[in-house]
Amino acid sequence: MNRWLKLSLGFILSFLGLYFSFRNIELNNLVKSFETINYFWIFVATILLILYTYLRSIRWRLLLFSLKPVSIKDLFASNMVGYFGNSILPFKMGEILRGYAISKNNDLKTSTVLGSIVLERVCDLGGLLLLLMIVALFYSFPYDIELSLILSAGVILLILILLWLISFKKEFIMNKIKGTQLMDFKTVISFIKTLSSFSKGFSSLNSFRSFIFVSLITVISWFILYLVTYYTLLSLNLSISWVEIAVVLLLTSMAMSIPAAPGAIGTHHFATYYVMNNLLDFNSIDSQTFAIVLHAVSYLPLVAIGAYYFFKSSIQIFDVFEKEFSDEKI
C-alpha cells in the first residue's frame, strides 16, 4: 500500500475515532469533570511510566549485549527520543529514530539495532498474548469482540513463529531464498544481506539466562502498565474490578496497532471510550474523561522528556528518511 494512502487512512481513522468519541458529549460537562482529578495519582502514574521506560532500556541492553554493551543511559535517552518521534512522525517511525540514535552513537549497524527493536516488540507481543489469555479466563466478552481477540491471538502466534524462524532458522531460510525463481539475483543477495544483519539483533536470546531475564522484565513492564491504568482510574475516582482494569489495558493496547495519526490520536480515545462506555457501563462523560486523561498520561510526559533528549542530541528528523541500512558497521 502506498505510504501516502496509509497516512491518509491513519488520519481518517483518527478523525473517525475522535468523532465517534465526542459526538454525544456536552463540552461543559466534560470540562467540569476535569475539576475532580486527583493529581497525586496522575503523578504516581507518570513516575511509573518513567520506570517502565527505564525497565525497557534494561531489557534493550540485554538484547544488544551479545553485539556490544550499550549504556542504559544511552538506551533510556533513545527510548524517549522514540516516543517523541512517534508523536510527530507517521508510520511509527519513532522506532527507526531510536534505532538510528543508538547505531549512530555506538557504531552499530542500523539494521542490526532494528532487529533488536523488532525482538523487543516480539517480547511485547508475548506479554500481550499472556494478558489476553489471563483476561479470557476471567472475563466474558461479547461474541464479536471475542472473535476478534481469537483472530488477534492467531496473528500474534503466527508473527512469533515467523520471527523465531528468522532468528534460529536463518540458514534454512537463506538457502530457500537462494533457490527461488521469484526474485532476480541482485534482489536475492540484497535480501539475504539485510536478513543476515537483521537476525543479529535476535542473537541475544540464544542464552537461556538472557531469555529468562528478558521475559521477567517483560512481565514486570506489563504489570507497571496495569498499575498506570489503575492509578489513572483512581485519579478520577472510578472504581472497577482487577480483571476489568486488565480488559481496559488489553483492548487499548491492541488499538495501538491500528493505523492512526501520530500519537494514536483518535484511535486510542475511541478504544478507551468504547471499553468504558459499552463494556463497563460507565456514562459518556466519565468514559471520555478517562480516555483523555489516560492518553495524556501515557504520552505527554514521555514526549516532553523525549523532546528534551532529541534537541539535546545531534540527530535530525530527516536522517531517518535518508539513512541507508546497508552500511558496513557491525
Residues 6+ positions from 254 with CB-CB distance below 8 Å: 128, 152, 271
pLDDT surpassing 80 at residue 221:
yes
Average pLDDT across the chain, whole number: 83
Neighbours of 23 (CB within 10 A): 8
pLDDT surpassing 90 at residue 118:
no
Q: What are phi and psi of 259, to 5 degrees?
A: -55, 135
Mean pLDDT of 166-185: 59
Mean pLDDT of 247-271: 87
Q: What is the pLDDT of residue 109?
A: 79
Least confident of 94-98, 199-203, 322-326: 322-326
SS3 324: coil
104 — pLDDT class (breaks 50, 70, 90): confident
pLDDT surpassing 70 at residue 330:
no
Q: How far is CA 260 from the centre of its chain?
A: 13
Least confident of 137-146, 266-275, 302-311: 137-146
Provide the residue ranges of all domains of the chain, joining segments of one domain with +: 48-322
Which range, 10-14, 49-53, 175-179, has the best average confidence (pLDDT)? 49-53
Mean pLDDT of 84-107: 85
Q: What is the pLDDT of residue 324?
A: 45
Question: Over the stretch 66-92, which tens digit does the pLDDT of each residue have?
Answer: 778 899 999 999 999 999 988 888 778
Measured distance CA(89)–CA(83) in Å, rounded: 10
Measured distance CA(76)–CA(55) in Å, rounded: 9
Provide the percentage of residues in the chain whose pLDDT is more than 90: 41
**Locate cell 539475504: which residue?**
192
Measured distance CA(198)–CA(222) in Å, rounded: 26
Helices (H) and strands (E) in the chain, counts: 14, 0
Q: What is the pLDDT of residue 225?
A: 97
327 — pLDDT class (breaks 50, 70, 90): very low
Mean pLDDT of 110-119: 81
Residues 6+ positions from 132 with CB-CB distance below 8 Å: 149, 152, 153, 250
Look at the pTM and tell me if it is higher than 0.75.
yes
Least confident of 175-184, 268-277, 319-328: 319-328
Q: Which three cell numbers stand for residue 236?
A: 478520577
Query: Which candidate, 101, 48, 67, places its Cα nearest to that of 306?
Result: 101
Query: How open is the CA angle 133-134-138, to the nearest 5 degrees?
Result: 115
Q: How far is CA 102 from the centre of its chain?
A: 18
279 DSSP 8-state letter: I
Q: Which residue has the higher pLDDT, 240 or 115?
A: 240
The runs of H, that is alpha helices, within the chain are 3-22, 27-33, 39-64, 72-88, 94-106, 110-138, 143-168, 170-178, 185-200, 208-235, 242-255, 267-274, 284-312, 317-322
Q: What is the pLDDT of residue 37?
A: 94
